[in-house]
Amino acid sequence: MAADTPGRDPVETQETLSNLLQETRKFAPPAELAESANVTAAAYEEAAADRLAFWERAAERLTWDRRWDTTLEWNPPFAKWFVGGKLNVAYNCVDRHVEAGNGDKVAYYWEGEPEGDSRTLTYADLKREVSKAANALQELGVAKGDRVAIYMPMIPELPIALLACARIGAIHSVVFGGFSASALSGRILDADAKVVITADGGFRRGAPSALKPTVDEALKECPDVTSVLVVRRTGQEIDFNDRDVWWHDLVDRQSEEHEPVPHDAEDPLYILYTSGTTGRPKGILHTTGGYLTQTAWTHHAVFDLKPETDIYWCTADIGWVTGHSYIVYGPLANGATSVIYEGTPDTPHKGRFWEVVQKYKVTILYTAPTAIRTFMKWGDDIPAKFDMSSLRVLGSVGEPINPEAYVWYREHIGGSRCPVVDTWWQTETGAIMISPLPGVTAGKPGAAMRPLPGITADVVDDQAQSVPNGGGGFLVVRDPWPAMLRTIWGDDQRYIDTYWSRFDGMYFPGDGSKRDEDGDLWLLGRVDDVMLVSGHNISTTEVESALVSHPKVAEAAVVGATDPVTGQAIVAFTILRGSAEESADIAAELRNHVAKTLGPIAKPRQILVVPELPKTRSGKIMRRLLRDVAENRSLGDVTTLTDDSVMNLIATKLPSAK
Ligand code: 6R9
């Protein structure tokens, strides 16, 4: 193992990570985009010359009721940004666009999963709805600093609920709608939430799926919740209790006027729980001024957003940080027009995403490698049926993007003309940290490239020394950044131990990285997934990318399993592309392909062809469970798995694994 995971005891450590994958393809920015880009190469120099002045200029893109006195107060590892400044996040995301004469501009095109079910919300509509919801929350007794848990499907009331909380200074804690009653009650209790906002249900894969019964179940454990506000979405039968109130009864009768009071730059905005690999979920705390500054600036810079002409679509769920920062706060602060889609990409057919792109003439698309690899598996002919000529920038987030998936995305979705921005960040970082700039960077497939201006990320070895070009090691961030988490809710010590103790004075996100000969960064997955084979640290990402570069493979997950000879041996689980036949010698073919691409050291001991891979609900591969399978152990905690029947399917493949 390469290193200790945040929150875990150090295990055997090695100095660096082997650097196996060589990728030479490179794509220059389109000339037209480069000429009119929001952000040019000068931003790197400006930020290098004076980092704090750079972030002050980014903060000036927002509307402040009172300007800050001090840009950064740093008592390591506790940061305060824009100290003394006051602003209202909802005012910045909504009202100020209406006041600037853009009330008729569309904020959200909402597309329900059932076809033909859609809604359009302008900025004026949003102002009215958010004001009514803010008045409603106040009528329920919610005051500044109170916590509100939100457990909802992807309907317009979800961003409205977030903004209503932000407007009155209540701290929202969104719990993804796919989580269980016990996950929900655990999060409600940890944050001591007073009110829960939910819906009767949502649409998922063509059928209504209930949410309210899960809330009822969870609340058996949560006596301090005083009200449950329920949106009617599906119309299904639900139990109604004394503390329940319908959204349409309470919110619809409220005044459309609500005065947004200024909040302190460091007042909490929200808590979002990350499950991580071990232990209790961590309540990541984000605050007001710095968070909005960095989400808005990065959205403007990384996607080159032109609010007058772009139609932007981020396919994440608002229940994850990507949805918070890049469906709600960043895009709205910039006055963008966004698409929100309620459902899954295969309902009612596997071309649904591309139909949505065609319908709304989406120009900027932000999605995840797991989705891209699924589309590759379904086949090139599906996107080819749709007109996607409106697209101009493509983004990726959530996992390392395999070079082959990047190239497929660029070619089959982006018509070989759109730059792909691979954006590295975390719930904890709040906003994008490492990414190409689409008008500046010549992108390499699979590389997140450079820290954004104003971000001081580095790759260090075990001794906290910067690795030279060509080396690999641990990703760190050297200086505080505006959208960084401020602490773990109610547990400062866990915040210190988890993120700031591995390397003195540096933030350690838990990811491995390499720096290539040009100094560009490649993210190599979580360090607790790194394999140690015959004394070499090998990243799962590189072996997976080598497998995905074989024309028959759509998706791959590799793990290290204990091996008497090599310490650990590589075991690979692969999904074949739709068109590929599973032949008897496929395993040998793929093993040879990896040996040729990366060298004999990376040759998997076993290769299994499987129908699915275990994923978290946000689409990340759960290698921990595959390690259990590969080492013949009983499975660990499967509660965050999307679909636990997947593990049974994989187990049936096992005899051949020996
Ligand atoms: C935004 C989000 C964070 C972890 C992170 C890393 C992985 C995210 C990535 C990436 C390689 C990228 N990750 N983006 N790895 N390249 N572009 O996903 O937040 O759910 O907290 O996950 O996801 O391992 O540490 P979160």
pLDDT tens-digit profile of 400-449?
A: 999 999 999 999 999 999 999 999 999 999 999 999 999 999 999 999 99
Nearest Cα neighbor of 105 from 312, 361, 331, 336 is: 336
CB 558 within 8 A of CB 598: no
Is 511 annotated as ligand-binding?
Answer: yes
For residue 274 and ligand 1, the question of a CB distance below 6 A is answered with yes
Ligand 1 atom with the shortest distance to the CA of 525: 24
Interaxial angle between packed helices 181-191 and 212-219, expressed in degrees from 0 to 180 and rounded to the nearest 10: 60
pLDDT, residue 304, reads 98
CA 97 to centroid of ligand 1, rounded, Å: 31
CA 432 to centroid of ligand 1, rounded, Å: 10
The letter for the amino acid at 568 is: Q
CA 421 to centroid of ligand 1, rounded, Å: 14
CA 526 to centroid of ligand 1, rounded, Å: 9
Q: How many CB atoms lie within 10 A of CB 579?
A: 12
CA 343 to centroid of ligand 1, rounded, Å: 22
Is 322 annotated as ligand-binding?
Answer: yes
Residues with Cβ < 8 Å from 49, sequence gap 6 or more? Answer: none
The ipTM is 1.00
Residue 189: is its pLDDT beyond 70? Answer: yes
CA 451 to centroid of ligand 1, rounded, Å: 14
For residue 275 and ligand 1, the question of a CB distance below 6 A is answered with no
Residues 134-177 have pLDDT tens digits of 999 999 999 999 999 999 999 999 999 999 999 999 999 999 99
Ligand 1 pocket mutation pick from 284, 324, 372, 425 by most atoms within 8 angstroms of CB: 425
> Rounded mean pLDDT of 37-50?
98
Return d(Cα 450, Cα 430) in angstroms, integer.
18
> Rounded mean pLDDT of 16-28?
87
Q: What is the pTM of this model?
A: 0.94
Residues 70-109 have pLDDT tens digits of 999 999 999 999 999 999 999 999 999 999 999 999 999 9
Ligand 1 atom with the shortest distance to the CA of 396: 17
Residues 548-605 have pLDDT tens digits of 999 999 999 999 999 999 999 999 999 999 777 777 789 999 999 999 999 999 999 9
For residue 526 and ligand 1, the question of a CB distance below 6 A is answered with yes
Residue 566 burial class via C-beta count within 10 angstroms: exposed 0-12, middle 13-18, buried 19 and up: middle
pLDDT, residue 581, reads 72
Residues with Cβ < 8 Å from 553, sequence gap 6 or more? Answer: 547, 574, 575, 576, 577, 580, 590
CB 453 within 8 A of CB 477: no
Q: pLDDT confidence of 657, banded at 50, 70, 90?
A: very low
Ligand 1 atom with the shortest distance to the CA of 424: 17
Q: What's the sign of the alpha-carbon dihedral 299, 302, 306, 312?
A: negative
pLDDT, residue 1, reads 31
pLDDT, residue 362, reads 98
CA 83 to centroid of ligand 1, rounded, Å: 29
For residue 276 and ligand 1, the question of a CB distance below 6 A is answered with no
Residue whose tokens read 């983004």: 395
Beta bridge partners of 429: none
Nearest Cα neighbor of 158 from 96, 229, 216, 91 is: 229
Out of 4-18, 358-372, 498-512, pick the least confident. 4-18
Ligand 1 atom with the shortest distance to the CA of 620: 23
Residue whose tokens read 């997140």: 448
Residue 8: is its pLDDT beyond 50? Answer: no
pLDDT, residue 277, reads 52
Residue 278: is its pLDDT beyond 90? Answer: no
Return d(Cα 400, Cα 527) in angstroms, integer.
13
Mean per-residue pLDDT over the chain, rounded: 93
Residue 168, both tokens: 């009155």
For residue 618 and ligand 1, the question of a CB distance below 6 A is answered with yes
At residue 413's C-alpha, the angle toward residues 408 and 414, to 5°, is 95
Q: Provide the CA 475 distance to its chain's centre, in angstroms.
A: 18
Phi/psi region, residue 505 (left: phi>0; alpha: psi -120 to 50; beta: rest), is: left
Residue 192: is its pLDDT beyond 90? Answer: yes
Ligand 1 pocket mutation pick from 397, 428, 622 by most atoms within 8 angstroms of CB: 397
Residues 199-217 have pLDDT tens digits of 999 998 889 999 999 999 9
Ligand 1 atom with the shortest distance to the CA of 434: 17
Give 118-121 contacts, CB < 8 A, sequence gap 24+: 119/156, 121/156
Residues 358-401 have pLDDT tens digits of 999 999 999 999 999 999 999 999 999 999 999 999 999 999 99
For residue 397 and ligand 1, the question of a CB distance below 6 A is answered with yes
For atom 3 of ligand 1, the residue with the nearest CA is 426
pLDDT, residue 44, reads 98
pLDDT, residue 280, reads 82
Is 398 annotated as ligand-binding?
Answer: yes
Q: pLDDT confidence of 4, banded at 50, 70, 90?
A: very low
Ligand 1 pocket mutation pick from 327, 394, 399, 498 by most atoms within 8 angstroms of CB: 399
Residue 587, both tokens: 């395993």
Residues 291-313 have pLDDT tens digits of 999 999 999 999 999 999 999 99
Could you write out the DSSP letters of every residue in 339-377? EEE-S-TTSS-TTHHHHHHHHHT--EEEE-HHHHHHHHH
pLDDT, residue 276, reads 57
Return d(Cα 622, Cα 651) in angstroms, integer.
15
Q: What's the sign of the alpha-carbon dihedral 447, 448, 451, 457?
A: negative
pLDDT, residue 10, reads 36
For residue 427 and ligand 1, the question of a CB distance below 6 A is answered with yes
For atom 22 of ligand 1, the residue with the nearest CA is 426
DSSP state, residue 400: P
Is 378 annotated as ligand-binding?
Answer: no
Is 548 annotated as ligand-binding?
Answer: yes
CA 430 to centroid of ligand 1, rounded, Å: 11
Residues 611-656 have pLDDT tens digits of 999 998 888 999 999 999 999 887 777 766 767 778 877 877 664 4
For residue 398 and ligand 1, the question of a CB distance below 6 A is answered with yes
The letter for the amino acid at 423 is: T
Is 550 annotated as ligand-binding?
Answer: yes
For atom 14 of ligand 1, the residue with the nearest CA is 398
Residues with Cβ < 8 Å from 43, sequence gap 6 or more? Answer: 54, 301, 437, 453
CB 559 within 8 A of CB 568: no
Residue 151, both tokens: 């457990």
Return d(Cα 380, Cα 420) in angstroms, integer.
18
pLDDT, residue 617, reads 86
pLDDT, residue 414, reads 98
